[in-house]
Structure 1
């Protein structure tokens, strides 16, 4: 992982508190109460959803497994899920980018069997327990997802990743680099990273990518 946890990220403070509060609450409940926590992170392209997920894995000391839905079908998705050990974290990125999660129809082909919505749902909350697992799903377009995928009880928490306020960006920049940055508009996470990359070149301060 190219991340040292949340210390390397500039995040909206309200978002960070809500996200970490949910994960802390899950971790404190005990394995006998709930087997997994599923969080849907949604927001504009470039808000940093992937970086946030990777930072979560580091922050909570969980091995990270990434599932690409475009590379599996109803049979192989179960094989992939079985490889996730107890106590790990499963990241499913851009979960709206496959037909199975936005439409209930799938073209049947004996040589290339499809991934269906039922296959996804069975894998996530079916016979494979995913014990003590933190599941993070990301999407830029939550409204495109089939309601069955993100209903209450299947997705425990849905959190929008907001832009970062100009005030927070300016304060963080001064703290990291000792320089004044007079931004007036909120920024995407990717825009903040680019500011830090340029500042690293200018001031020679270590700024690690996520």
Structure 2
């Protein structure tokens, strides 16, 4: 697949089935993530893979976080939290590792980690792997961070769900670029 094809046509694929990406495919996914723009070569990211029974444990962690957030949370919301990680055979948790640095602000490091996540999505599309970026408010819970073993200065920025597309991915819609791009006329 040509790089421009992946850049111009990647779409989210929310309905995913077994099998998960192979070890060889995963190597490509994470190698692509490592190519994210990264001033200072800080590599302000890391990844957790969650699959098999660990997805159920992650679901329980999310349900606990929902209960801590709202003691009157509905059973439907708890079930949604529990079942979230079961949407795909593989969940990649993208973690930003934000460091104090005299030259590279944390905001830039956070953007770099987001680019690493996007690299995984692009590499998944290029390999025919279905992928979707879902996060939600529970991803930012201190309880979830602790349960996933995050260190100080780390934060979850993405749950990437990966697997085999249940059906043919939709075609990317064309966007009117004029709505987003304009020339700056210079300082007046």
Common topology (TM > 0.5): no
More helix by share: 2
Q: What's the TM-score, normalizing by structure 2?
A: 0.26
More strand by share: 2
Q: What's the TM-score, normalizing by structure 1?
A: 0.25
